[in-house]
Structure 1
Amino acid sequence: MSETYTLKLDRKIFIQGEIKLLTGMHVGGSSLGLGIGGADKVVIRNPVDNVPYIPGSSIKGKMRSLLEKSLGLVQISQERGEWTGKLCQNPEEDAVQLFGFPADMADTKPDYAPTRLTVRDSRLLNEQTLAEAENTDMYCTEIKTEVAIDRLTSKANPRQFERVPAGARFGLDLVLDLYNVDAGSNGENSRADRFVHLVCQALSLVEDDYIGGQGTRGYGQVEFIVTSVTERTADSYKQGQMERQLSEYQEQFALFINKEKAPV
């Protein structure tokens, strides 16, 4: 006999703020159509207005990778003589339920809801400042020339990377979905605290790592500034009500992300 259950969206938590670049960032885009004299490696841009942005997939992928590494959830295996590291696919783990898991596992247990965390593309907030800067090389970006040295012949092989310069600011927009299966026996969202804590932890890890390519050579250091944490319940959508501030979660992000550390 088949088993059925009701999956109901209980609420959405909106986490918004800014991403500030502390060093130049390179999130690669297509090099098709580059003119003579352009960079060898270009950044991704909105094809409509030509403005650089950070894909949500780049942010979310980095958050998940670092979080699962920090929790010891990455398994390393050898296949056909090659070592590979795979992200965790165990749906029992909160991190996997937060970021998602393969669709063929979705019906293994009632509380395995769909992916809970949405990370939207980050648009550039200070476009005009970058566009009017005197020393930028392309629209809102800089060109950084690097030289690779052949270890045998000492021949220099220059290459050029396009980067969004330090000081650029992008929007941060995360949405956390909570379902009826996340509620505890007392009717409260017992998993909400754990999921929000994981998001805080993941963002903090990214701050101490990087976004985009060439990070081990200084690219992509960022600072997250969370300015608003609100929620809308399923009932508020029916009644046309606006979001409600979540001061308790705002304080948690202030502690983890905004560096307002508690006194020792």
Structure 2
Amino acid sequence: MTEKDLTTSGKLYGKVFIEGKIISLTGLHIGTGKETMEIGGLDMPVVRDPLTREPYIPGSSIKGKMRSLLEKFEFARSGKDITPESYFSKIIKSGSEEIRHHECDNDNCPVCRLYGASKGNGVKKNRPARIYVHDAHLIEESKKELQGIDTGLYLTELKYENTLDRLTSAASPRQIERVPKGAEFKFSMVYNQDEPKDSALFKKDLESIFTNILLLEDDALGGSVSRGYGRIDIQKVKIIYRDAEYYTQENKKEIVLEQGESEDLKTFLFERVIKELTK
């Protein structure tokens, strides 16, 4: 069976679990819509868990940012003959706006292999995503620290900003709720392995995921990133690998690899993890 055939085989050889901590280096704002406008209410509240009222980072926000970064990264490597219109060929209507992103039929495309593609706009068939990204919730220690901060809000802070009229200098103030600097969230994602361990595509998928994580760490999450919001650090990454036999044998075995205290993240992912999982 060829590499190309394997990409559509529907097989499951194992799962790679990626866990770690996201630490906010600056205030973090991931907003939510408001159905009603309250007198004296916040202009821009953060998204919260409806049961605990704790702020969290939706998996959709993490995954969306990761996909966007990987699309730009791969577009830059695609060659000078590829135009933005041909690469970002998928068009989605959002109200009166058009949003473009990349989807294609190329079985070896890192973006579509990991994040999937939908039928239409030149894509002949639906392609399921191989990576799932979960919501990132506050770790207990960080929650306790935030409870000790007197901000008048539960686990968050209020940031006042002004938009100035360039001609009259009139100010238009707004209130932005954000998670304070230093908050720590537990993140997790799962890669579904549909290639054998000795496949070049399995190794390529791991390299793409790890590149994506490094790109995310050097970028930002949420809104207002051009004004300094959303910078993050990713620490204490742990990789758990379970092959198909793990789910059938009584003597369940798994590979667990953890980033060392002083170990560089890139070195850990690209040298230790890839070497161990593809041997």
TM-score range, shorter chain: 0.7 to 0.9
Q: Give the drift of 1:197.
A: 1.3
What pairs up with 1:116-195 in 2 under 5 angstroms? 116-125=130-139, 126-134=142-150, 136-179=151-194, 182-183=195-196, 188-195=198-205
Q: TM-score, normalized by length of structure 1?
A: 0.80
CA RMSD of aligned residues (A): 3.3
How far did residue 18 of structure 1 move?
0.4
- Deviation per residue, 1:211-234 (Å, 9 max, x gap): 111110111001111421011112
Does residue 1:66 correspond to 2:66, yes or no?
no
2: CA distance between counterparts of 1:246 and 1:257?
9
The answer to whether the Cα contact below 8 Å between 2:56 and 2:136 also exists between their aligned partners in 1 is yes
Which stretch shows the higher mean deviation, 229-238 or 112-121? 112-121
Alignment of 1:1-264 (within 5 A): 6-32=9-35, 35-72=38-75, 75-76=84-85, 86-92=100-106, 93-103=109-119, 114-125=128-139, 126-134=142-150, 136-179=151-194, 182-183=195-196, 188-239=198-249, 241-246=252-257, 254-255=265-266
Distance 1:90 1:113 in 2: 9
Provide closer, same or farther for how the CA distance between residues 219 and 6 of structure 1 changes in structure 2, counting only shifts above 3 A. Answer: closer
User: Does the aligned pair in 2 maintain the 1:116–1:176 contact within 8 Å?
Assistant: yes
Name the CA shift for 1:140/1:242 in 2 (closer, same or farther; >3 Å). Answer: farther
Answer yes or no: is the 8 Å Cα contact 2:14–2:243 preserved in 1.
yes
Q: Tell me the distance in 2 between the aligned counterparts of 1:30 and 1:257.
A: 39
Query: For the residues of structure 2 that align with 1:156 and 1:190, how far apart are their CA atoms?
Result: 57
Structure 1 position 33, deviation (Å): 5.6
Distance 2:52 2:193 in 1: 35
Contact 2:104 2:123 in 1 (8 A): no
How big is each residue's C-alpha offset from its partner over 1:112-141, in whole Å with a ceiling of 9 and x where there is no partner? Answer: 96211110000011212101213x231000
Three-state SS of the structure 1 residue aligned to 2:206 is helix
Q: Give the deviation of 1:6 after TM superposition.
A: 4.8
Q: How far does residue 239 in structure 1 lie from its aligned partner after superposition?
A: 2.2
The answer to whether the 8 A contact 2:237-2:258 is kept is no
| Unaligned stretches of 5+ residues in structure 1 | none
How many angstroms apart in 2 are the aligned matches of 1:124 and 1:237?
Answer: 30
Q: d(CA) in 2 for partners of 1:6 and 1:196? A: 19
In the TM superposition, residue 107 of structure 1 has moved relative to its aligned partner by: 7.3
Q: How many residue pairs were aligned? A: 243
Structure 1 residue 169, shift from structure 2 partner: 0.3
* Greater CA drift, 28-37 or 14-23: 28-37
Shift of 1:253: 7.6
